[in-house]
Each structure stands twice: as C-alpha cells, then as structure tokens.
Amino acid sequence: MGCASMVAMGLSRKLLGEGEEIVLHLRTHAKKLVLPALVLIVLGALVGVAIALLPPSAEPWGRLVVAGVAVVLAIVLVLVPYLRWRTTTYTVTNRRIITRTGIINQTGHDLPLVRINDVSYERSLTDRMLGCGTLNIRTASEQGPVVLPDVPGVERVHVEITELLFDSTNPSYRHDVHDDEDEDEDES
C-alpha cells in the first residue's frame, strides 16, 4: 500500500486520545527542498569562485568575510526552508486531522472528522508529475476551507479521509459506540 510508508513517522502517542489511531502521518512534499538544494549548490560554487578571485592582499580577512556571508545566506536560504519542511506535518487519525507547523513557535490545528463536510484536491501539471497536490477540507465553519498544500500522494490521502468520513457517519458505526455504552450500563 502506497501510504503505509507514510505512517512510519509518528505523532507522539501522548497527543492521541484513548482509542485514537494514526492512519497517516506525513510531511509536505520534498519538492519544497529543490530550490534550497539548488541555492546550496550555487552558493558553494560562488564561494569557491570568490575565494579563488580574492587578491593576496585580502588574506585572511577576505576569506572570512566570504565565508561569513555564505553562512548567513545558507542559514536564510537553505536551513530555514529545510526546517520549515521538516516541522510541517499532517496527521490523519481515525478521529481527526492534525496539522503542525513552526520552527520556533509551533502552530497546530486539529479538525475533528465529524465536522468535515467536503474533501477535495487540486493538482497542477507539476504536482501530477511529482505525485503531490493541495488538499482542501471544508467544514460548516465560516472561516473557509482548511488548505493543506503539497500533500504527497494527495489522491490516496483523499481516499483515506473519505473512507474515514464514510465510516464515522455510518449509522452502524455510531450504533456500535452506543452499544458499548449500553453494555457498560447493563453490567452495573
């Protein structure tokens, strides 16, 4: 199954409710790392050229200035986008959809499955080639849809969420929950 590998990473079990199980856990698509990787390569080449072209009179401070500028640019243009990618996660459980993002200040959003009215996805030509897309989740809320960009395997994620929604709105599913409560009362 294609999404089974997406479950390997995990949300801490202490953040899950009793009986709650992780169905999918994933990060935004790795396409977010292509530009930072290219920047790192170009930055390395530019540092090499700059050091090679430094006049001997600029030694050793010239190399230190070039290296310092390169480090600052690498942090801003490579490390920060990598950390954003690394800290942006989407988790689907049998009860809710959990999003987490943030390097220093973390922002989380939990959306109970029972509040979801519609799930759709969009895929550009590039997204189709890379196997990702944008997942749009609509609720009855006036805040508008929850948009999850660059979801890897967006079609499979859409199917998984739809199956969970179908199960959670199925009358027999709700009946089973109430039957369990009735059995507890009968045992008293």
Residue 103 to residue 100: CA distance in whole angstroms = 10
Q: pLDDT by residue (tens digit) across 15-58?
A: 777 888 888 889 999 999 999 999 999 999 999 999 899 888 88
Whether 175 has a pLDDT exceeding 60, the answer reads no
Q: Three-state SS for 64?
A: helix
pLDDT computed for residue 19 by the predictor:
81
Sign of CA dihedral 144, 113, 128, 31: positive
Q: Is 130 exposed, middle or buried (0-12, 13-18, 19+ CB in 10 A)?
A: middle
- Both tokens of 186, joined, read 């009968």
- Which amino acid is residue 22, in one-letter code? I
**Which phi and psi (to 5°) does residue 186 adopt?**
-65, -30
- The pTM (predicted TM-score) of the whole model is 0.73
For residue 166, the model assigns a pLDDT of 81
**Please, what sign has the CA dihedral across residues 140, 101, 2, 97?**
negative
Q: Which two tokens stand for residue 120?
A: 């759709």
